[in-house]
Amino acid sequence: MDIKQDVTIQSWDGTWTYRPKVLVTPTSVEDLIEIMTGEVRFPSPVRPAGSMHSTARMNGDDGGTMVDMKAMNRILLFGEETVTVEAGATYIVVSNALKERGLQFHVTTEIGNVTLAAMACAATKDSSFPGGYGQISSYVIGVRLVAPDGEVRTITERENPDEMQLIRSSYGLFGIIFEVTIKVRRTTALSVRHYSMGLPEFRKRFPVFKAQGYAVMYYIFPYARRVLVELRKDNPDVEPKSRRRWTYRNRFWRKYGPAIALWIRRRTANRTLRSLGDQLHFFILRQGLIRVVRSDATWPHAQIINYPRDPGRNRYLFSMWAFREASFFKILDDYCDFCADYEKETGYRCDLPSVGYSIVQDRQALLSYSWDGGTLSIDPASTGGKEWEAFLRVYNDFCSARGGAPLLNQTPFLTSAQVKKAFGERLAIFADARALADRHDRLLDSYFRELLTDA
Ligand SMILES: Cc1cc2nc3c(=O)[nH]c(=O)nc-3n(C[C@H](O)[C@H](O)[C@H](O)COP(=O)(O)OP(=O)(O)OC[C@H]3O[C@@H](n4cnc5c(N)ncnc54)[C@H](O)[C@@H]3O)c2cc1C
């Protein structure tokens, strides 16, 4: 295994800087056991890292050990309805391999560079199809891991359903996962449509979209008080044939959206001009998506985006909070007011559209954000900067006050009080189980220590 001392390493976009005492890249289970049991060579906390695409700072403490799992990335076994891979295999690589075999993942997220182990233990999502889940970890039916005491453990849905529920929101606190088995299905063509509408119309039509069997995702334009709704549905009557439709959308997220937003920001010192620039940008975006990203027969795999490792300034950053369906539309209204008021007070406006996902009730993971019922999320997005970070702290208060649930790896700047309020009793169960699984806090870093303090 490769071992480096006293390195400085950044998350994918440079938001977070880590200075681990040891950065180690294991290539085998034996390496992982050596790391876990070698407390002098590999100082605590030991934190596994995937692609480091989480928007919260959660890949370890300065002075500890960061375990880069990306070298353990083989695909081990294709089954009829499952695939088994090593922890560091990325979603896009496995998705492409599934495609060659006439298979696909149940959930096709936008991001493709993330690793399967991170997806297994830190919820990653896309809008839910009726009858399915939206959180990828819910389709994980087995993991193998090295526990904090160095023991190799196999945990499966069939043998250990309660433990699987913990593992699906374990964030590397219960052991380092080296193998993941996830359910897959036969490839089915995906139809997609986009519709632009005001908030009242969205509220009225949302139950209809659901009744019609659509998976509902949406872009929110808070300053224009509009949404662009993306509707997806399986279309088993045709063969998939279109990749391109998604390629256009993906290019927007990966590059052109952030690049245009930054260009507008640089060129327009005047607030009114900047607002006009944004309005034009987003109007063209909406029209483009409505007219171009529409087809009855897209490849589901083509939705997945390969984000560059070093995006330079063209970064797409976001945060996320989910709300119960019954209160969502009022909160969406409040959110638009919140963004407008925040701009009036501080001059700051998010330079990319917010997004959101409709996610069905899901109790597969203990810290699921749709535990009590279906949720819809509001995920502000931006090209980043200090003002964005200040905005997110206030946004966290806004959401927490309205009963929202965050995602511990995708909602930066959370406080322990907000996490406690969101997860209540489940956080206490999680904290107790963690303490039992890792009695000497080998894997516990300051991020989780702080968030679990009041649990
Ligand atoms: C541009 C961009 C787009 C995104 N799009 C989406 C999207 O469409 N949908 C969505 O849901 N999310 C999205 N995300 C968020 C991202 O998918 C998640 O944060 C994901 O968990 C990151 O995976 P990773 O491999 O980078 O893991 P990391 O960020 O490196 O780690 C995440 C957590 O998993 C733990 N972990 C990693 N490997 C292991 C292991 N082997 N064993 C145990 N624990 C481990 C880490 O310790 C950490 O707690 C996006 C992020 C970015 C930056």
What is the model's pTM? 0.93
What pLDDT sits at residue 251?
A: 78
Average pLDDT of the residues in 321-346: 97
Q: Is 69 in the pocket of ligand 1 (CB under 6 A)?
A: yes
Atom number, ligand 1, closest to the C-alpha of residue 54: 19
Strand 140-146 with 152-156, pairing: antiparallel
CATH topology of domain 190-415: Vanillyl-alcohol Oxidase; Chain A, domain 3 (3.40.462)
Q: Is 111 in the pocket of ligand 1 (CB under 6 A)?
A: yes
Domain boundaries, the chain: 2-70, 78-187, 190-415
Percent of the chain with pLDDT over 70: 99
pLDDT of residue 123 exceeding 70: yes
CA 369/CA 375 separation, integer angstroms: 8
- The whole-number pLDDT of residue 316 equals 82
**Ligand 1 centroid, distance to 118 Cα (angstroms):** 5
Give the pLDDT mean for 405-419: 96
Please compute the mean of the pLDDT values over residues 103-111 and round it to a whole number.
Answer: 91
Tens digit of each residue's pLDDT (9 = 90 or more) over 14-44: 889 999 999 999 999 999 999 999 999 999 9
**Percent of the chain scoring above 90 in pLDDT:** 77
Query: For 341, phi and psi rounded to 5 degrees?
Result: -65, -40
Above 80 in pLDDT, residue 348?
yes
DSSP 253: I
Least confident piece of the model among 2-6, 29-33, 223-227, 451-455: 451-455
Task: Tell me how far the alpha carbon of residue 444 lies from the centroid of ligand 1, in angstroms.
Answer: 18
49 lines ligand 1 (CB under 6 A): yes
Q: Which two tokens stand for residue 417?
A: 């009080």
Expressed in angstroms and rounded, the spacing between residue 126 Cα and the centre of ligand 1 is 14
| CB of 229 closer than 6 angstroms to any ligand 1 atom | no
Name the residue of 61, 304, 379, 409 to mutate for ligand 1: max ligand atoms within 8 A of Cβ: 409
Does ligand 1 have an atom closer than 6 angstroms to the CB of 357? no
Of residues 247 and 432, the one with the higher pLDDT is 432
Q: Give the integer Cα–Cα distance in Å for 132 and 370.
A: 13
pLDDT bucket at 309, cuts 50 / 70 / 90: low
Among 44, 67, 124, the mutation site with the greatest number of ligand 1 atoms within 8 A of its Cβ is 124
- Domain spanning 2-70 has what CATH number? 3.30.43.10
Name the token pair of 248: 């256009």
Higher pLDDT, 74 or 286: 74
In this prediction, residues 232-242 reach a mean pLDDT of: 94
Specify the length of the chain in residues.
455
**Per-residue confidence band for 239, with pLDDT thresholds at 50, 70 and 90:** very high
The Å distance, Cα 49 to ligand 1 centre, comes to 9
Predicted confidence at residue 192, as pLDDT, reads 94
Specify the pLDDT at position 268. 82
Q: Which atom of ligand 1 is least distant from the CA of 69?
A: 41
User: Residue range 212-229: average pLDDT?
Assistant: 96
* Spacing, Cα 410 to ligand 1 middle (Å): 8
Ligand 1 mutation target, pool 11, 53, 255, 446, most atoms within 8 A of CB:
53
**Is 70 exceeded by the pLDDT of residue 308?**
no
pLDDT, one tens digit per residue, over 165-203 is 999 999 999 999 999 999 999 999 999 999 999 999 999
CA nearest to 377, candidates 402, 406, 350 = 406
Pick the more confident residue, 380 or 277: 380
Query: Which residues partner with 350 through β-bridges?
Result: none
- Give every CB contact of residue 160 below 8 A, 6+ residues apart in sequence: none
Do the bridges between strand 82-86 and strand 152-156 make them parallel or antiparallel, or are there none, so unpaired? unpaired
Residue whose CA is at the smallest distance from ligand 1 atom 10: 124
Q: Is 45 in the pocket of ligand 1 (CB under 6 A)?
A: no
Over the chain, what is the mean pLDDT? Answer: 93
The pLDDT-based confidence of 367 (bands split at 50, 70, 90) is very high
Nearest CA, atom 9, ligand 1: 125
Rounded Cα gap, residues 392 and 319, in angstroms: 8
State the closest ligand 1 atom to the C-alpha of 109, by its place in the atom list counted from 1. 8
Residue (of 165, 115, 164) closest to 144 by Cα position: 164
Ligand 1 pocket test, candidate residues 72, 86, 114, 447, most atoms within 8 A of CB? 114
Q: Whose CA is nearest to atom 27 of ligand 1?
A: 50
**Chain CA centroid to CA 157, Å:** 22
Residue 97 CA to ligand 1 center (angstroms) comes to 21
Residue 97: exposure state from Cβ atoms within 10 A (0-12, 13-18, ≥19): middle
Distance between Cα 290 and ligand 1 center (Å):
30
Ligand 1 centre from 271 Cα, in Å? 35
Task: Please name the CATH architecture into which domain 78-187 falls.
Answer: 2-Layer Sandwich (3.30)
382 lines ligand 1 (CB under 6 A): no
Q: One fold for both 2-70 and 190-415? A: no
pLDDT tens digit sequence for 240-299? 998 888 887 887 777 778 888 888 888 887 888 888 888 888 888 888 889 988 999 999
